Chain A
Amino acid sequence: MAKSKSTTNATSAPEGQKSRRDFIVVASYAMGAVGAGAFAWPLVDQMNPAADTLALASIEVDVSKISEGQSITLKWRGKPIFIRHRTKSEIAEAAEVATADLRDPEDDGLRVQKPEYLVVLGVCTHLGCVPLGQKVGEVRGEYDGWFCPCHGSHYDSSGRIRKGPAPTNLEVPPYTFLSDQVIRIG
């Protein structure tokens, strides 16, 4: 702005020096930027989950009604939750795996509170499809767990990723056993 062109101006400083006018110009731009930013943030942040969305209630389930080898699907925060009453062989299979060789190494023991009941989010960690394997007769992939048909991810009987494009294991949601039979999710 200032510099050589405005040296004839009374308020400007000699060549190469900052004048008071330069200061005012920079300060105005800075104030403008702060103001624009202060207005932009609410515009961006209004797209984040609203208070009532965040407050979505937790759900309670009686898991004693699920017989061995069966699964149920519930909806929590708009997403499916898989609860599987695992068979002895599925539990053994999940425990036997050499954890260190997995893409997302995690012990089966850390993924369950009671080995019989596996609770995971039924959301493929690749791009979010719901894997198959909940209903009797559905394909369950090569590792006796779930198979995501969208791009071919195989999960094992602990919900861990074994094959295909998904990067991580099926997520375990926060949950607690309220009694021997009832789980609260969320």
Chain B
Amino acid sequence: MSEKQFSNPAVRWIDHRLPIFSFLNHEANEYPTPKNLNYFWNFGSLAGISLVVMIITGIALSMSYTAHVDYAFESVERIMRDVNHGWLLRYIHMNGASFFFIVVFIHIFRGLYYGSYKAPRELLWILGVVILLLMMATAFMGYVLPWGQMSFWGATVITNLFSAIPGVGEAIVTWLWGGFSVDNPTLNRFFSLHFLLPFVIVGVVVLHLVALHRFGSNNPLGIDTKGPQDTLPFHPYYTIKDFFGLSVFLTFFAAAVFFFPNFMGHPDNYIPANALQTPAHIVPEWYFLPFYAILRAVPDKLGGVLAMFGAIAVLFILPWLDRSPVRSGRFRPIFKIFFWLLLADCVLLGYIGAMPAEGLYVLVGRLATVWYFVHFLVILPVLSVIETPRPLPQSISKPIFTGGGAMAGAAAAPKEKV
């Protein structure tokens, strides 16, 4: 990385010894970014901001939270009633988790549609799936902390998933619990890990960004940038666009925090945990519902657990399942249809996950589960072979392959030559 000459002498002095300013200038200022990104490319920065919001409010909550079975529930109620602005911090943290998942799910489906997982971005994609797993673990353990009925029974059911592992399952569950049931040792370690994991996520996000900046962003056309005429400097073009997106996001977020703070939660979690009584209908947080539906679709304990983890595992190998050389769904007429079917299937799974496991729901849940796996394991590999993609544009500056385009806007026009 070349050293930039900064006009401020203090900055220059520091940068010569610690090239942090050159680094930032390179990666966040002049960083060349495809000029045709649409609003779906806002969700990466929104995810990063959500993570920061979670860490800041989480640290503040920890200052008043007590990780003990006799005090946890009351300490959270105290945060809500007595701690100055405690209600605000908790509602931001609680709804922040939901919004974080909304943002990340959109971010993931963006990648699925525009083929962002394809070469050379396979590792970038895999790191993203790792982040998703870490987020799920973090959110699961965070939900246990207020020690309500859903906290307790969610923790019981999810930790019991590991008992399905043949042979060592029971030993693993006892080890996770630190006892013979979900109890004080479990709550303590979940607090410790809930505090730790977000910082691990920060680490993986850094790797994710290093991998991203190696080849730069994909774009809605899914073709490589061919030179400066196809890109814009990140600042001010995308910084301002990201800020605009953030303000829209914050509008929705604030609406939830101030007007519907418990909409995405479950009222049973305002009943203190009771180890002797399971609520009549236990459901996980909404962002786990599709996975929960897959778990319940299989009428066998080990099979259900394997299917649930398998639903994430297929994402890891996705770059090798979809071999089509064309990235963007825009140029893949059949893929496009199946993409929307997959999205509908995931929404359907989420709905089934919230319903009791009986009657028609069981059947629909099974069909939707089968479809999920068929999409990744059969349809994508087959489509890569049989589908004829539409012709690709020559470059981002020439979106219409017959000749130069109106989109080759003012900024790039003089240099337009491949």
Which residues of A are at the interface with B, using a C-beta cutoff of 8 A? 44, 47-50, 53, 56, 73, 75, 77-80, 122-123, 126-130, 148-152, 165-167
Contact = CB atoms under 8 A, between A and B. Distances in A.
Nearest to B282: A150
Interface string B58-96: 000000000000000000000000000000000000000
Interface of B: 153, 156-161, 163, 174-183, 185, 189, 275-278, 280-282, 296, 299-301, 304, 356-358
20 contacts: A47-B185, A48-B175, A48-B178, A53-B179, A73-B276, A77-B179, A123-B181, A126-B301, A127-B163, A128-B159, A128-B160, A130-B278, A149-B280, A150-B278, A150-B282, A151-B357, A165-B300, A165-B301, A166-B301, A167-B301
B178 A50 contact: yes
A149 B281 contact: yes
A79 B282 CA distance: 18
A149 B185 contact: no
A129 B157 contact: yes
A54 to B, nearest CB: 9
Contact of A129 (B176, B278, B357): B278
B278 A149 contact: yes
A80 B276 contact: yes
A127 B179 contact: no
A152 B358 contact: yes
Contacts of B301: 126-127, 165-167
B297 to A, nearest CB: 10
Nearest to A164: B299
Given A53-B180, A79-B180, A79-B181, 7 more contacts: A44-B175, A48-B175, A48-B178, A78-B275, A80-B276, A127-B161, A128-B156
Contacts of B304: 165
Given A152-B358, A165-B301, A49 B157 contact: no
Contact of A47 (B160, B176, B278): B176
A95 B277 CA distance: 29
B275 A150 contact: no
A150 B181 CA distance: 17
Contacts of A123: 181
A8 B216 CA distance: 45
Given A78-B180, A127-B160, A47 B175 contact: yes
Contacts of A128: 156-157, 159-160, 163
Contacts of A53: 178-180, 185
A149 B282 CA distance: 8
A77 B358 CA distance: 32
A129 B358 CA distance: 17
A79, A127, A130, A150 interface centre (most CB from chain B within 10 Å): A127
A129 B277 CA distance: 8
B276 A150 contact: no
Nearest to B281: A149
A130 B274 CA distance: 11
A15 B153 CA distance: 64
B302 to A, nearest CB: 8
A122 to B, nearest CB: 8
Contacts of A151: 296, 357
A80 B176 CA distance: 19
A129 B155 CA distance: 11
Contacts of B296: 151, 165
A152 B234 CA distance: 54
Nearest to A167: B301
A151 B304 CA distance: 12
A77 B174 CA distance: 12
A129 B282 contact: yes
B156 A127 contact: yes
A149 B159 CA distance: 18
Contacts of A48: 174-175, 178
B181 A77 contact: yes
A79 B275 contact: yes
A53 B183 CA distance: 10
A150 B300 CA distance: 14
B281 A77 contact: no
A155 to B, nearest CB: 14
A93 B309 CA distance: 40
A149 B156 CA distance: 14
Contacts of A152: 357-358
B194 to A, nearest CB: 15
A49 B181 contact: no
B185 A49 contact: yes
Contacts of B157: 127-129, 150
